[in-house]
Structure 1
């Protein structure tokens, strides 16, 4: 009985050649995504330009690396796989991302707008909304749509990375940084960037995750660690001095790319001697995707409205920590329940093994 309960929490973690640091990064990205929505809420309730606002904005920058980390992790996990037919990939892996998105999308809409959306005469409109993009009830779903798009591209990108020399791949990573730099800073000189569509697709970040996990040399890792540290210092300076920084430090800006890469490499190195993760890390890692989907509703409805947690109570630290911890654990339990009931049943037709 206890073994069955343990398996529900952490699943089968004895997979051959499992990379321990991937679980660590998943947990960090999951905590960060909750953190960014917590501190951004707190920042919106403080005076613009105050010390509290600037401190919260720095933490917002740190936590916002979660977006790149999630995309990098997807690349690190999916692109190294060889000899997997596209049909099997889409049946087994793509559906594990798409089905939860649809389920949680419907739950958010129904929770906000009513149960009428479950009636057959609303199904076409619901499908249209899902195909349109993230709902207003769950704006954070934009990242999930990006990840799903990258899943669509995965078989094609796999073919490329498995058939080009390592030195060419290193050159591609360099080009990715150049494109991201031009897209970020050309507007400073009054030049409209033509690279936005390429950069916003996050395909470069996806490939970057594979590079960091599989092909990055020790020397290059050191370069990224130093670049990430300098990028963080520079960004903190911009924020603290109140510069017009919003368009130049987030998402695929070179500073955020370097900072996220430094986190990735640092966690990878720190985990090199580890053979097993803690129960907590295994638990949060297993349900990280569903936590990403459910946490917005838990934070804003359960924790904020029902539990009446004030994000600024106890100073800017106390309320934020309480809100983050409650959101993480409530989301983890909610994700675990849905993953092992509704989502598990819906995925059965796509997980049948060939006889």
Structure 2
């Protein structure tokens, strides 16, 4: 088959009706990855690879109306082979549910809810290893991540993580784009909300430029796993089952300390105007990051930590020692951390916007947990947050 010819698409005669009998709660849940990235970063190239390469995985790819370009539509859409999949939650339908020769599935996510994605997975012959949901290039991923994570009707599905594809040539310019009234732009939000970054198009930049890009990305989000890619190609097995929202090893907090050049001090930056950082890089972003080291906490301090998080994230206020809520707090995009207690237990913290979870680490996984620490990523995060936390918890 010539490279410019579309892959052969196999038409399914029908989509089996999904029901309670199709669920098996004893089997591992299928991981869902949310794929984000600014326009032109390489998301469509990654999806094209997933849908055409013989990589050995059965992946269900939910594309944002089949990609951003007519080239993608030309590869994957075929009017005579489109099917209809109903979404029982919205009474709408999604067309173009296709089964490809390499075992992958492809559908449009336009008007497609979580229930319909679950139905697609349950209906796939032989099951599915992984679900990838593409977000638009200008989407703020925070509310979308929150929706998937908070949904209690995921059934056999599990939010696994957020992958952001970054254009190494243009990302510094994209991060610096101004918004009215100090708004955080979409590219900054995408980096801040990600668990994994693909620094794409590394073949098109010089090593010193790539170093600047990676340092800036890690400054914005020090918990990231970063991969260098050309044409968005890398072993797919490294992109899923990262368990960023369900595993004590999935937050990336401990791993990041050996990867970022800023691991010897708290990550506190103020980027309201362009300036030179200690690494010589100009920074434009209004996103700031703070890492707060934690000693083993008493049960009382742990309760105070939860109270601080609830007030900070739910009310956007700082709690005071007297029980009142004080002035407005920063806008938080992501929260991560490990918390160890003096009684020997440990907890992993994961948060998106105003939603957070403290989950006790099983005894079998305690060796994965490093020293206690909290990481806050958002606008206006800095010394005041750290000082108020330390004072309120009594550290």
Q: Please give the range of the TM-score, normalised by the shorter of the 2 chains.
A: under 0.3
Normalized per residue, the structure richer in strand is 2
TM-score (norm 2): 0.26
